[in-house]
Amino acid sequence: MRKTVCLIGRPNTGKSSLFNRLINEKKAIIADMPGVTRDRLYGIVNFEDKSFSLIDTGGIDLENATLNENIRLQAELAIDEADVIVFVVDGLEDITPNDIKVRDMLLRSKKRVILAINKIDDIHHEDAIYNFYELGISDMIMVSAEHNRNITELLKMITSDFPVYQNMPKGEEIRFSIIGRPNVGKSSLVNALLGEERQIVSDIAGTTRDSNDSRFTYDKKEYVVIDTAGMRKRGKIYEQVEKYSVIRSLKAIENSDVCVIVIDASTGIIEHDKHIVSYALEAGKAMVLCINKWDLVPDKDQALKKWKTLIEHEFQFIPYVPVVFLSATTKTRIHTLMPAIIKSFASFTTMLKTSSLNDVIRDAVALHEPPSYKGMRLKIYYVTQVETMPPKFVFFVNNKTLVHFSYERYLENKIRESFALDGSPIILQFKNRGEE
């Protein structure tokens, strides 16, 4: 598992700039995906042979606790989840009473704290470090997020005691996680699948405090279901700060082949549901959408039509993901879930024949040629699949800069029309011929 690091500090110290610098903002997969808007609160940082999850938080103003209670709770949750805390201060300003209060909160956590003195753009500002000895934090470093100064050194400090990152060893079983916002029925769904009351079930959001792995057999094959409600300690914090419930789900997503995103049929789709889907998508996992509490929906035939239209609109960025409607408590239509998971996993691990793949692409190009640009037209020489989990296809072309996003989408759709890839994302990569 990856370690977890969070950025903490008062407003306007440059935390967001540092966050973007550490995760390499240009590589963010889902920054502007249609249909998904979310705060940039989470990212993956890869440094040398280490890897960690990075959490950003809002600026903490403990001087005005009433107006910033929600931000303070978010920060406490992030601190609770973190292995290392990076305390970001403004190196061009004196220590404030708010800095002292934030420092006190961090020291109470008993976590490893690194003081990042930001905005030190050049050597002329380095004397500022002496102002911050008063904070009493031994691990300290001067950085400039804006100018990329000492960022490598900061990463070395953060990861100094992190183990070399390795993906979790995978057995023969299919691993799937049950994820979603609080109180949508995740634990009830796990119980329905297992046929026993392994999880505490309550209508109070925050009952489950940690992720749990349960092994079971279905149709003579082994499966592992990972249940997580995004909670661990101090449940009230987790209940009040719903968007941060995703933090505990991230490790479950990472360790899954398939993510089952549970949505409450009685409340409908909210923005947080789309946030959670975006994390599974960003992690490159296969997915199933599970509309739970279907027993609470009146006039089910009419509701089914409305829900299908709603899903098509709200989740337009994942039209390939199968959807099941069920009730975990009554077990109505529970039999539809496992086949959908199996189908998504099959797509996730599919390896296509190169000859069949090239036949499809040749037909697609013949049906609809790439548009020309400044007298030049994209030529596709051949395509091959190079990876699974998820499937990744490399197109060798005359000039990859001629690939328009709309034509890339067209090629993806043609691949999906020709091969059974429901439930899994696919990756298209374009290379110039001869390029490694």
- Helix or strand or coil: residue 221? strand
What is the reported pLDDT for 155? 97
Mean pLDDT computed over 374-383: 93
Calpha distance 264→282 (Å, rounded): 23
Q: Which two tokens stand for residue 99?
A: 């800095």
Q: Which two tokens stand for residue 295?
A: 């027993």
Whether the Cβ atoms of residue 46 and residue 52 lie closer than 8 Å to each other: no
**Bigger pLDDT: 313 vs 209:** 313
Q: For residue 276, what are the contacts with CB-CB under 8 A and spacing of at least 6? A: 179, 180, 181, 246, 249, 261
* Confidence band for 245, pLDDT divided at 50, 70 and 90: low
pLDDT tens-place string over residues 165-224 = 876 555 578 999 999 888 899 989 998 998 865 444 444 444 333 445 788 889 989 899
The mean pLDDT of the chain is 84
Query: Which residue in this structure is represented by tokens 């990569």?
Result: 429
What is the reported pLDDT for 204? 40
pLDDT tens-place string over residues 125-146 = 778 788 899 999 999 999 999 9
Calpha distance 228→324 (Å, rounded): 20
Query: Which residue in this structure is represented by tokens 């030529």?
Result: 379
What is the reported pLDDT for 255? 82
What is the reported pLDDT for 157? 96
pLDDT at 356 over 50: yes
Mean pLDDT computed over 41-69: 78
pLDDT at 240 over 80: no
The CA-to-CA distance between both ends of the chain, in Å, stands at: 31
Mean pLDDT computed over 149-171: 85
pLDDT at 229 over 80: no
Calpha distance 363→414 (Å, rounded): 9
Query: Which residue in this structure is represented by tokens 């036949």?
Result: 359
* Confidence band for 387, pLDDT divided at 50, 70 and 90: very high
What is the reported pLDDT for 70? 63
What is the reported pLDDT for 230? 41
pLDDT tens-place string over residues 76-133 = 777 888 899 999 999 989 999 989 988 998 999 999 999 999 999 888 777 878 889 9
What is the reported pLDDT for 11? 86
CA dist list (Å): 121 to 8, 19, 143, 145: 20, 17, 7, 9
Least confident of 169-173, 239-243, 268-272, 404-408: 239-243
What are the DSSP calls for 39-82, one per residue? ---EEEEEETTEEEEEE--PPP-GGGTTTTHHHHHHHHHHHHH-
Calpha distance 305→377 (Å, rounded): 43
CA triplet 76, 81, 85: central angle to 5 degrees?
A: 75
What is the reported pLDDT for 77? 76
**CA-based R_g, the chain, Å:** 24
What is the reported pLDDT for 223? 92
CA triplet 81, 261, 389: central angle to 5 degrees?
A: 85
